[in-house]
């Protein structure tokens, strides 16, 4: 007996149409182009999840450097001093302290300077 594939094909197409909602005309109306667009968008999403981490670390380093220079040191000397003093703070936290709690950041800089 022959198997008709209309139902499964229709379901697959609906899935593609749902995923391409909001895309340009050709990508959302054509199944073939829609499938390509979904594949490409997932590739971009995967890549950019990693790039976002890179971008934020760059931003945190810039903020830390700016705040360190206001306190009379540089980024590299500050990080080196913190490592020697066994102060375990990641760059995200240091950046938050630098922008929101300048007094606390100043105390951390003094700790780092005293070990150098």
Cα dist. 90→10, 19, 26, 96 in Å? 51, 38, 46, 10
Say yes or no to pLDDT of 9 above 90.
yes
Considering only CA atoms, which of 80, 62, 57, 94 is closest in space to residue 108? 94
> In which band, very low, low, confident or very high, does the pLDDT at 115 lie, cut at 50, 70 and 90?
confident
Residue 28: inside a domain:
yes
Res 60: pLDDT:
98
Range of the domain at 30: 7-115
Say yes or no to pLDDT of 116 above 90.
no
DSSP SS3 for 20:
coil
Condensed to tens digits (0 to 9), the pLDDT of residues 42-86 reads 999 999 999 999 999 999 999 999 999 999 999 999 999 999 999
Residue 2: inside a domain:
no
Find the CATH number of the domain harbouring 23: 1.10.1900.20
Residue 25: inside a domain:
yes
Mean pLDDT, range 97-111, rounded to an integer: 97
The tally of CA atoms less than 13 A away on the side-chain side of residue 48 is: 6
Residue 1: inside a domain:
no
Condensed to tens digits (0 to 9), the pLDDT of residues 19-34 reads 999 999 999 999 999 9
Task: Determine whether 31 is exposed, middle or buried from the number of CB atoms within 10 Å of its CB (0-12, 13-18, 19+).
Answer: middle
- The total of structural domains in the chain comes to 1
């Amino acid at each position: 007996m022959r198997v008709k594939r209309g139902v499964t094909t229709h379901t697959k197409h609906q899935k593609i149409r749902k995923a391409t909602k909001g895309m340009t005309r050709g990508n959302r109306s054509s199944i073939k182009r829609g499938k390509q667009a979904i594949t490409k968008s997932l590739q971009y999403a995967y890549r950019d999840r990693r790039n976002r981490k890179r971008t934020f670390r760059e931003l945190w380093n810039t903020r830390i450097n700016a705040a360190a220079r206001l306190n009379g040191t540089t980024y590299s000397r500050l990080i080196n001093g913190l490592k020697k003093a066994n102060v375990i703070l990641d760059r995200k936290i240091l950046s938050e302290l630098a922008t929101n709690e300048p007094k606390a950041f100043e105390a951390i800089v003094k700790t780092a300077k005293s070990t150098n």
